[in-house]
Structures are given as structure tokens and as C-alpha cells.
Amino acid sequence: MDEHLNNDKIKPLRIGIAGLGTVGAALVLMLEKNAKQIQRKHGRMVKVVAVCARSRSRDRGIDISGFAWHDDPVALAKDENVDLFVELIGGEDGPALASVKAALEAGKPVVTANKALLAKHGVDLAALAEKSGVHMGFEAAVAGGIPVIKTLREGLGAASVTRVYGILNGTCNYILTRMGNEDISFADCLKDAQALGYAEADPTFDVEGFDTAHKLAILTSLCFQCKIAADEVFVEGITAITQEDIKVAAELGYAIKLLGIAKRSEKGIEQRVHPTFVPASSAVARVDNVLNAIILETDHVSELMLSGPGAGGSATAASVLADILDIARGQIIPPLGMPTAELSDYKRAPMQSHKGGYYIRLDVLDVPGALAAITSRLGENNISLESVIQRPDIDIDASGISNSSEAGKTRTLVLITQDTLEASLRKALDQVADDGHTIGAPQVIRIESF
């Protein structure tokens, strides 16, 4: 047995890569540049032997002539000359799913950067990896170059996570940072992000919060030893954030960040993604531009923060390489931190039970008694106000009577609540809408005191 293991150490680890985009090309370059160092440090040569991509002739800045070419990623996964399959195709189904399953069923370890695939099929794929006795690595699937998966699977010892939260999408963080530093709109920031390559031509997946939700669902499973439940994440994006919201936040000592937050309580697990007021003095508020940050709160360590690049070819490829090197050393651990048979079923805590402070922006009709009626509805639902803010263009007196004689005019009213149940707040705002004193949907942003 020992002799067999020693022989395996001598044999090169032969890699097959499906997907030669920015990350795949960066990975090939890293493996070539560091080949001697990797062999010296890990006692085994690691080399790419086969690849698969949409186009064979595309210029990627790398030489692929020495690699076996496959048009079909499933054929690559089954190639007898490939020991480890790297999936960088993307997508939750289709070729990505088929090729990963093929590799695992053939008894080959897999490394993937595919968060959508894991969010939907992660538990089944982890079970298949366990059945085949191989490792499945996915460090690059969450927060790019930040080693949070390894930290959760191996680095916390006996510590139990009580809450995980963070900035998990660089596109949204870039946009909110620019809006906070410059007097420009969401739409203009998005155009700049697209021009710089930070946002896709169709940015919906990023700016509506779905990318963050997929990553949060994976983190939740690892933190709380439960099955991945991406469909159970409450999701709000950043498209409705305005300069009005940004300016009020700054005046009150806050920054706005799109956060993914997961917390376990006696009622279950709460997973939510939404714009959040965070204290400007907090560590997470100072994570700007395309950087990501993940904060783990545990029973042993009050707060552990990991921060770094959340995307980009080199950062993501570095995480893929870290998984490859773990496999080269012979590491086999349950992909989700514990055997899938021992993962608990996901129990969702009701979102409406969330308690905290809220920022509310309302477009109020400029009619007598409007402000008084709104504050009365809040009081009826046991909601106390921290402050009522009328912007410079607002002209409503304390009784709710406007000094403007222009009929039908609306005014912007900002309310900051003390801690209150979300269910109470939603009920009060529904009543305000029914009273007919406001126009359009209210802007509601949660306030967190990290």
C-alpha cells in the first residue's frame, strides 16, 4: 500500500481543463510558470494535458498546441489520460453539469469555479464525489481569490459559526462605491462598470442580487451544516438605489453596501441579500470598488474577516490552483465539510421576523395632514422613529401641511426607525399606501449595526 502511494506521488497529475476564458487561460499560465516550484514543494508534477473550449482558433495568449483537444467537455472528463477535471464552463446545467458528473462517476476529482452549478446541484455532486472516493474543490466559486471555503472546511477547528455576512459581488460594490464617492447615478455607474469589464452586457444576475444569493447559499451550507437552499434566499438588488439614499446614508454616518447575510436561530436559518446601511466606521464599510469581504462570527472568535479580490482571471485562477494542489497532495475531504448524509434539511426562519432599524424613503403627496397620517400609522404598529428627515427641496411643516400651493405636488420624506419587526413595518407601509398619501413604492433599506 505504501509503495503504491509512493508511486502515485512520482506520477504527474494530469489536468484536463474545460473552458479557456479569462480564468482558464490564467490557470494554464500559472501552471506553466510555476511548474518547477509546484513539483519541488508538493513532490509531484502537475501539468495540463487536455483542454476543451468553444473555439480552438481563438487567440488566448497561451499556446495550446501541446494539449489534446476535445470538442465535448464530457469526452474530456472521460479521457483516460486525464486524472483531474477542471470545469470553467459556467452555467447551472448543460455541459457543465454533464461533464462534472461524468468525471466524478469515472472516479476523477473535480475542481470547479461554478457557483450556479453548486447552488443548484451542489449536494448531489458532493454525494457523488463521496461515493466515488474523490475530492471536489470549489474555492473559486465564492469570492474569487479569498480562501473562505478552505477556512470553513478546515480552518475553524471546533468553532461554530453563528452568522456569516459580507460583500460577495464586485460589480455591485464598484457601483455603490462610485455612487458614494461621486455625485453620479446608478445608470451612469453601471455603464462605466460595463466599459471596464466589471459588469456583463446583461448585468441582471449581478445587480439584482442573484450572484450574491448563489454564493451565500453555498456559504450557508458550510457554516451551518445544512443542505444548500439557494431558492430560500430573500433577494433584493441595487437598481432602486438613488443619490438621495446615498447622501442621507452619509449624513447619518452610514455607507450602503449590498450584503449577503445568513444567520441561524432557534426558528431556523435566515438567508438574505439586500442593500444595507452599515456604519461608516465598520470594517465592511471600508471595503470598496471590486473587492469582496466575508465576515464570520463564531462562538470562539467574535469576528473573523477575510477580504480580497472577488473576481478576475488571476485571483480566481489562484483559487482553482489551490484546490488542484490539495488534490495533488492526496487530500480527500467531504466537499461540504461533512458527509452529505449528515447534512440537516434546510429550515427557513421567517423573514418577516427580522428585527432591526430601517431607512424609509417615501414620495408623499403635498396635502394637509399627510405627514401626521403617516406617523400615526407607524405609531399604531408600535414603530418608533429615530428621526424624520426632510430634504432641502421638501417644504412640509410639522403638521403635515405644505407651504407649497402647487396642487398634486409630491415631497420626499425620509424616516429612520428604531429597532422594529419587519412584519410590523410592512403592515404599516401597506396601510400608508391604502390611505393614499404616497405615490409609488416606498424605498426600504435595512440598517445593520455591525
**Active centre residues (catalytic):** 215
Beta bridge partners, 358, equal 446
Geometric angle at alpha carbon 333, from 331 and 334, rounded to 5°: 155
Asked if 65 contacts 52 with a C-beta cutoff of 8 angstroms, the reply is no
> How far, CA to CA in Å, does 82 sit from each of 9, 49, 109, 221, 317?
16, 7, 10, 30, 19
Q: At 433, phi and psi to the nearest 5?
A: -65, -40
Judged on CB neighbours under 10 Å (0-12, 13-18, 19+), 267 is exposed
> How many angstroms separate the CA atoms of 350 and 356, rounded?
14
